[in-house]
Chain A
Amino acid sequence: MSAVVETKVSVAELEAIARRVRASIVKMVAAAQSGHPGGSLSAVELGVSLYWNHLRCDPAQPDWPDRDRFLLSKGHATPFYYSLLAERGYFSHDMLPTFRSLGSPLQGHASMGAAPGIEMSGGSLGQGLSFAIGTAFAAKMDGRNSRSWVLIGDGELNEGQVWEAAMAVPHFGLGDRIFVMVDRNGIQNDGFADDIMKTHPRQMWEGFGWKVLEIDGHDMAAVDQALEEMQRPDERPRCVVANTVKGRGVSFMENNPGFHGKAPTPAQLEQALAEIEAGL
């Protein structure tokens, strides 16, 4: 099936795509003068490696029944999500400037089905992994091989529902159908995660019966390898904990809680685009 990824994209090519996605993210947020750049920029390597090398998908058939699903559980990272979808060919880049504007299919938080490739609605945290279990149950019943890849934020790990679902995945033996990626950028809405609500992702996931692959979430080769490795059958479900930097690629956004949900000024946008191009 042509929709299944067969030829891998090189790390150098992935990095070039990542730069384009980062530029798109800051442009979208600047145009809308609102949105969440920090947690979008931190997830770029995960998203690019996934969409180009691992997700079984076909942008020409977004509803292909055997597709894998990417489920953006940290639903505020829409500049990241929409930029990825446009770059991967689900819809035109021309749609991106409508982000967050009246009537746009690209709402501040994703609305399922509003544009091709949007697999679930987001905005209220903690719900993606549960959704993945439902898709896995259905795929199993219907004899399909499709999987779900769930991206969860580290602040989102505060939500109890994540753990209801985390205990259910191994219980139901769905580890070969559901893959979790934690974007551990260390910052949540109100500040640094260690100050707001300290989490211990490795111990927490392992405690719930998962195998944890901890990586540098901005090392594209490491990300690509981890996403490959997590697809290998194992008794335990797999979770990649990607240590990332909020605002990655833009000096004044990096590790700055102020840019969780704030747009750059025109001058800042210019600087951001220059830094992204230079591959900070």
Chain B
Amino acid sequence: MTSTIPAAATREAYPFGLIQLVEEGVDVVAIDADLSVSTMGYQFGEKYPDRWHTVGVAEQNMVGIAAGLAASGKVAFIASFAAFLPGRCYDQLRTSVAQPRGGMNVKCVASHGGVTVGEDGMSAQAIEDLALATSLIPFDVIVPADFEETKQAVVAVGKTTRPAYVRTGRPKIAGLYDSSYRFEIGKSSQLQAGTDVTLIACGVMVDVSLKAAALLANEGVSARVVNMATIKPIDRAAVLAAARETGAIVTAEEHQTHGGLGTAVARVLAEELPTPIAFVGVDRYGTSGKWDELLGYFHLTPERVAQAAREAIARKR
């Protein structure tokens, strides 16, 4: 079903989403902080120069400017690397965006999320951004899994009045969805049916989990694969259905296991339906390397996800 969709980086979808919003009449202003050729924000700037600013290497100022734009009725988008947005400007996001009026209309689109940023090494590898973003009370937090989903997620957050954090990635990854797909904030998407275990993943780990499910199928294990693109608000119904119907859960994310997808899923289970769960993520700082080498280095692999599935299944009663 996915073979005809070309590989693309999720960050490449960002300007397409912005352009669609403007074409649909949304009063967007987008800002970059000297990384626009990487976030791809510059492509929006070329098309709509009056709606785009680049403010130099000044993420804190960028957030404050966005808050002022939002206070004036604009839909403000800000972009940088996920290592710096929210990391370099967390306090500004909290005080100037999250708290005023129950949340200002500011959308963060942070590229180069996770370890697949690659050769730049540990300082550039954002493995804390989801923990920070989910801690900002009114924020929606989304980690799309391919180009099409990213474009639709950018459009979707642009049509709410809430603040949002959307994480994109640097490398070209497999396409999962064509234009018939309909992304909704807070709704997961099941990519494969299964009955023994559910692999709940986001971002680049969705494709890794599909490959893990194939490995498990060879062993006669039937794994459901769910793309949980929205970390917050989490799709509780899908998590509970997975727990009820498969009895074991694995979460897989390109983020530390504290404060991201795994934490959000575990909370739902703990509150409503305690279920064996295993977490796949990154719990140490990294090193340089090619992005696909780094997935191996951090054990963000089909083999590790499959192993986690076996561990979770073994803990079923």
Contacts and interface: CB of A to CB of B under 8 A. Distances in A.
B56 A167 contact: yes
Contacts of B73: 138, 142
A141 B61 contact: no
B71 interface: yes
A171 B56 CA distance: 10
Contacts of A132: 68
A134 B60 contact: no
A100 B101 CA distance: 18
Interface string B145-166: 0000000000000000000000
B53 A137 contact: yes
B29 A141 contact: yes
* Most A Cβ at <10 Å: residue of B50, B61, B62, B96: B61
Given A134-B69, A138-B72, A112 B101 contact: yes
B95 interface: yes
B78 to A, nearest CB: 10
A138 B104 CA distance: 15
B100 A141 contact: no
B61 A164 contact: yes
A120 B62 CA distance: 16
A199 interface: no
A130 B65 contact: yes
B91 interface: yes
Interface string A123-136: 11011111111111
A279 interface: no
A120 B56 contact: no
Nearest to A159: B60
B-side interface size class: 20 to 34
A75 to B, nearest CB: 9
B67 A134 contact: yes
B60 A119 contact: no
Contacts of B94: 124
B70 interface: yes
B207 to A, nearest CB: 38
A168 B61 contact: yes
Interface string B88-128: 00011011100111000000000000000000000000000
Nearest to B106: A134
A129 B62 CA distance: 11
B58 interface: yes
Interface in B49-84: 50-51, 53, 55-56, 58, 60-74, 76
B61 A130 contact: yes
Nearest to A73: B64
A207 interface: no
B101 A134 contact: no
Contact of B68 (A111, A137, A161): A137
A113 interface: yes
B50 to A, nearest CB: 7
Given A119-B71, A134-B67, A137-B29, A160 B60 contact: yes
Interface in A133-168: 133-139, 141-142, 148, 160-161, 164-165, 167-168
Contact of A120 (B66, B91, B100): B100
A131 B91 contact: no
A153 to B, nearest CB: 16
A98 interface: no
A111 B99 contact: yes
Nearest to A148: B68
A271 interface: no
B61 A113 contact: no
Nearest to A135: B68
A121 interface: yes
Contacts of A134: 64-72, 74, 76
Contacts of B63: 130
Contacts of A142: 72-73
A33 B40 CA distance: 52
Contacts of B65: 130-131, 133-134, 137, 168
* Most B Cβ at <10 Å: residue of A129, A136, A137, A168: A137
B73 to A, nearest CB: 7
Given A113-B100, A161-B60, A135 B55 contact: no
Nearest to B58: A164
A124 B69 contact: no
B29 to A, nearest CB: 7
Nearest to A160: B60
Interface of A: 111-113, 119-124, 126-139, 141-142, 148, 160-161, 164-165, 167-168, 171-172
19 contacts: A119-B71, A121-B95, A124-B94, A130-B61, A130-B96, A131-B71, A133-B61, A133-B68, A134-B66, A134-B72, A134-B76, A137-B65, A137-B68, A141-B50, A161-B58, A161-B64, A165-B64, A168-B56, A172-B53
**Cβ-closest 4 pairs across A and B:** A134-B68, A130-B64, A138-B72, A164-B61
Given A130-B63, A135-B68, 17 more contacts: A112-B101, A120-B71, A121-B100, A124-B94, A130-B60, A130-B67, A134-B66, A134-B72, A135-B72, A137-B68, A138-B29, A148-B68, A161-B60, A161-B61, A168-B56, A171-B56, A172-B53
